[in-house]
Structure 1
Amino acid sequence: MDNSTTTIFPFKTLLSFRLLIEHWEQRIQEGHFSAFAPTIKAYIEQAPELKQPIEDEAVFARHKPFIDFLMTAAIPSATNNNDLIVALQPFKFKSLYSTPAFDKTIFFESFEEHAQANVPGGKIKLGKTVRACLMILEKFQNLGMFAESPRPVLVTLKDPNNGLDKVYKIEISHQFCDVIAKVEYKPIEKNIVKFLMEKIYDHDLWLQYINPENFEFHGLLIMRLVDVTEQEMLSSIKYDLLERNAVIRSESFVRIQHKLRSLFGIPDIRLGIAYLDPNNDIVINNPEAERWNSVTACSNDNSPCQDFTGSIYERSWLERRYVTIENLSEYPFKSVVEESLLKNGIQNILLAPLIDGEEIIGMLELATPTPGKLNPVSAHKVENVLPMFTASVKRVKEEMSTEVRALIQEECTAIHPTVQWRFFEAGLNLLNKRRTDDKATLEEIAFKDVYPLYGLADVRNSSIERNMAIQRDLQQNLKLAKELLHKIYAVTKLPLLEEAIFKTDEQLQKINRGLASGDESNVLDFLKSEINPMIDHFSNEEELQRLIDKYKSNLDPTFGVVYKRRKAFEESLELINRTISNYLDDAENDAQKMFPHYFEKYKTDGVEFTIYLGTSLVKNKTFDTFNLKNFRLWQLLVMIEVNRKIEALKSNMKTKLEITQLILVHDQPISIRFRPDEKQFDVDGAYDIRYEIVKKRIDKAHIKNTGERLTQPGKLAIVYNQAKVEDEYKRYFHYLKAKGMIVGEVEELELEELPGATGLHALRAQMASEQNTLPMIDPDNLLKDIEEGLRVQ
């Protein structure tokens, strides 16, 4: 058995009415109660035992009617039906006298056992020990208010009938209680008293300085209980909401719901907290509320209901205020939401929007199955705590958004903004799954019925141009090295130089015949590992210094070899790629305003890009044929503008490069699927893969029976395999010709078969070489262009 002071009160206490009787005698002496003073005095004189400590309960029982009369001095009879007051033997939870209100409300026999106090461990016995020690200091060290408890004593009692909590502040009067010192009291030093007050609940420390065997408490205590449930529950709920993820963690959600039930005094209140991600349009609820909450219950398949039109939710949202329906059965304007609530046993509901600044970020829902429990009068109880719900939801949204985006970044790298909503949904689902399953993986993400628009601006003969630049650089480097080695040999006559000259000439003859696979790396290794170190060996020879410096002036300081033509080619290629890529980014950003879409581009020797369009890629928007035609014309205008920009660059190119341009038109919608291993989208399904095959091979296509490449500088080629596509693009070309953007006749071509691609046709048109800047990135002008383009026949 635990004998610590947390379980056993260590001081001896005795019941005594001496101070209470002396109070009456003093009042009678002052002239009060003159009508019945003689009767009181006579009774007291005949019962001297009442002024002595009472250990025999029979004495108390014999005089109880008179004691009850005396108690009216401490507990006025006028408060009997309202105040919770009880008189008891010092620190013994056994009622001597109590008000009817107390008897009706408090089950005092188990009070000490079941009450949870606001002290460490929650044990009320600890509070009793501390209070006794403070009373001793107050009397024998004359500390007065300094010896008061540092904070109000609160106890929480659970109602055995409904399980709800009630919180009471305990006010104790010890006016009729005396502390008796059995030995001479030795004062405690003030600095120690100060230290004890700082360690107020360290009972073992207190009892080192106050020995319980030296003191007794005689008399009685008056204890008043003040109901502070509303204030304390509101304060406690606010504290709970400060916890991280308080509104989504099941244990904290249940705890908050229980406190709301205690706050309202309604045991069957159900709490719901719904919030909306403003960027992704996702409604999220705590799983504890999903069994009844309208957000999850208003559809038969338990999927989130997105249509709250005409419901009390819409009303609360739009009016930005509380809405309370006391009886849903009698509500005359029921929508599918109210009908769903009724099916789930909800008859009474209170809604409160969670408002952050000017934005509504969620909804607090309180509901009961009993009509009338929640009403406009009771709504004020949540007003003080509503900002904390708002702050908690806002914090959860921000933290979850950060966590989900980090998860997406881990699983998927960067995601295009248009489809971010779908990855956010999948990331949120994965986050929830991983709370219980560490091995959960990202769900499949696919978009069906999307139209691809593929375009390619390729540098003409880039491989040939690159090889020629490399070959010429290597030829120059070998010639310069050979000449310098001859001059060094003429001075030194070293035989090793003759061998180096021979090997250099051998490498030069091989390069002169053409650049084969591996030749570049072999020659570079020969120059860097053999020739350059040999030349450096003579760099300190004064008569050779000028010749060596002249040789090195032709070498690139970074690579240590001749890198002039290759550098000129790479800089020209980078200029083309950067110009095209930057323009596509700008044009595509504006095109997002026409209709949101998925966009990807790749830079190699040129730039290729794909746009995916479709209803499944976006939320709350519908893609139709008008949008498709709009983007097809936009793509033509973009390609023509790319040609104009590259033409304007030619004067700045160190190596004159040409580009060819191609558009592949796939008239049937396809499906794309995110591949987690490659962290990118790819076409899905055997039929759709054919499109991908054609896309990868079409730039090498030739015109049937001619041997001529389809793609030619200055010309734009449209590849297709459907007659209706040909008619559509002929109309566009007719319009563009009228605008002066293309010239000459549009060629109708049949292409040679490619592996995996047969029956392909093409339209090819010459783009105007000089044009003014086109207004294709202005959505308003583009809409006018397409309307005009479709009219021109």
Structure 2
Amino acid sequence: MKIIESKLVAETDLPLQLNVSFNKIFDLFKKYTDIEYAKHPYHSSAKKMVQLINKHPELNNGFSDYSLLEKYKEQIDLLLNPLFPEPLLLNEIKAASIPFSFTSFKFSNRFENILKNAGDNFELNVRNFEDDSMYIMACTFILSYVYGFNVDVKRPFYFDIPDGTTGTMKYYRTTFNADFSDITATKDAPILTEKDFKELLNNFDNIALWKEKFPPNSYIFKGFGLISLFDVTSEEMLSSIKANLLEGGKDLIPKLQSNLRDFYSIKDLKLGYSIFDNINTKICETQVNKSNSLILNHGTEINCDSTYFCNSIMQKVFKDHETFIISDVAEYGLKTNNNLFSQNLQKNNIQSIILIPIKATDNGDLALLEIASPRAYDLNSVNINKLKDIIPVFEVAVKRTSEEHQNILEATIQENYTSIHSSVKWRFYEAAEKYHAARQNNSNAKLDEIVFNEVYPLFGQSDIKGSSTARNEAIQEDLTTQLTLAITVLKDACKTERLPIYNELMFRVSSYLIDVKKGLNAGDEINILDFLGREIYPVFNHINNISTELSKKVSVYMNRLDKDLNVVYEKRKEYENSVTLLNDKLAQFLDNKQKQAQEMFPHYFERYKTDGVEYNMYIGQTITKNRKFDSLYLYNLRLWQLQTTYEMENLAFYERKNMQHDLQVASLILVHSNAMAIKFRMDEKQFDVDGAYNIRYEIIKKRIDKANIKGTNERLTVPGKIAIVYSQDKDAIEYIKYINYLQSKNQLGKIEFLELEDLQGASGLKALRVEVKYQENFDVNKTITFNDLIKEIEA
């Protein structure tokens, strides 16, 4: 018996003890042995089957030794033959299997042929299914079967099986029939309640919790299952083509070519494309890299007439925008007197080809998709129909790309680029010069994308701690002052004019005052100011005319209001002045330090003022035009960053005495050791990381300052300490060396080694947190020299 055992069996824990048993089949046969089924066609065979199983009780009781599958091969085949009807053996892709381990032991003929065709070294493994996911899926199976709690976490299983005949990959989706299985709990299995069930629903990714509720091997599985495979190569390739078109990138054509090879089962299929403009003239000049085209032979230009293309192609492709198929290039060459197009195809070993025209824009641009094979009739008028679902996807992608291209062509460098950092300005000048030179001869010239590859990022921030709370407290104090002044005016007016309306208004103002003192909610300030303007100020106009004394009281109130905002703006102004002072001091200091740091090695730098200061730096060979990059410069810049962060902490501490509102900063450095690419985003007029892999870095940057220390509610960033976040231990070792150096200068104190709570989109982060030793008389001019930094790195 052919047995295929997945790696999952040996490498994955499960909450189930897996036992092969044919008990359910036995019960079915036993049913037909009853006298009431004496005339049933199954009666006689069922009696033989029952006798067979009684002779081999292991088949009924169950076993976990998979070698017994081979020992009882003949008996198992007899038992399972009814589930594998002979007329369907060459049609169905089916096997008997043990769930969650994918160990299979009886196959339909078609399944066996597929596996044989895959090669001797092929291993049948599930695609993209993590060990934890398999464990949790087994748990949900138990929840449903044993406890009646239904959880829909069904994910289709996929097998990628190579086709040895065509040299391409086939993709299969599976279904599983568990009718012939049973699950029972062992004495060690915890009894689950509805509360446990709800807790599990809220913690799908917490594998430790699932293993607590469902310990390994705490349930017994008896039986087997049936898996059926369905060929979904076309659907998979359509989905993959869509995903690749959306992702784009420099590897787009090779990826799409690989997709189409599997789609058509042609291992050496070729894919190319070209874009033509001015198609109504005699010259078709391509706008794209000639190496992407299969039909242009890397030429500069071609004549769009019968000297290159035949009249049929000119009419059908370039005028009617219809697909054109050449099933036999040699035969086509005979019909066209071996025109240049057919000669070029045969020179490139293309014997059948499909040309798919896609109108790119409304101005006449035409994209030509080229699908070719080295054999005649591999591509023909019949299998072109397989592309019907794919061509619309290509059309959308081509039109989108063309529109983006046209948008770039419509603007000059002044319209596309904002102020540029001096370290990378040379690259923009280079692109601008190339663009304007190309415009002399080609009206369709476009600006280069500005991308810097293989650069190392540095990120830091000095954030004002509790800024939101401080701002709200300032608003609260100002509103309290304003409402208290209003009550004072109304009280004095009531003494002069004993009108009940004054008491009623005082009650309403007092109610607002009580609410404000309790705390502010969204919209409270607007509602209070609206109330004062609508209800109080008209009364104040009346009070202002009663007497000189009351007029003075109203004037005192009005003079406390900000002339532009018409509100008391005292505490808020103190707070905002303090924030502005601190931001300006920190930003100016950082900018001055940056001018010195650029002398070490040119690097990109951008700074932002928020409630505090944050900045990005990127350093690498591609940033500079004339100097050679060495990792020494990266290490030097990291030490410079740590030293500068320490000095900014001291500056913020020193400026507390000059601020009307006492503010403190908390500093953070994010370490990322892997090189990445940054790209100038034309729409946002700024640099950003390029590529899906680097998005995680951006996610961490945005969320890390809100991170807590693992197992606590304590924030990582606190005043008086510098947090250094990292993910690789080698980074910690590097920074400990820098910290030790600054400790020797009596600038930094005790180090803490911390683990951080997982963030959404980022886990496994760690941090060093080091105490800042403040200088009483901090002097921004007394800092560590460049020579000191270099000596420390070289040491």
TM range (shorter): 0.3 to 0.5
Greater CA radius of gyration, 1 or 2?
A: 1
Taking structure 1 as the reference length, the TM-score comes to 0.47
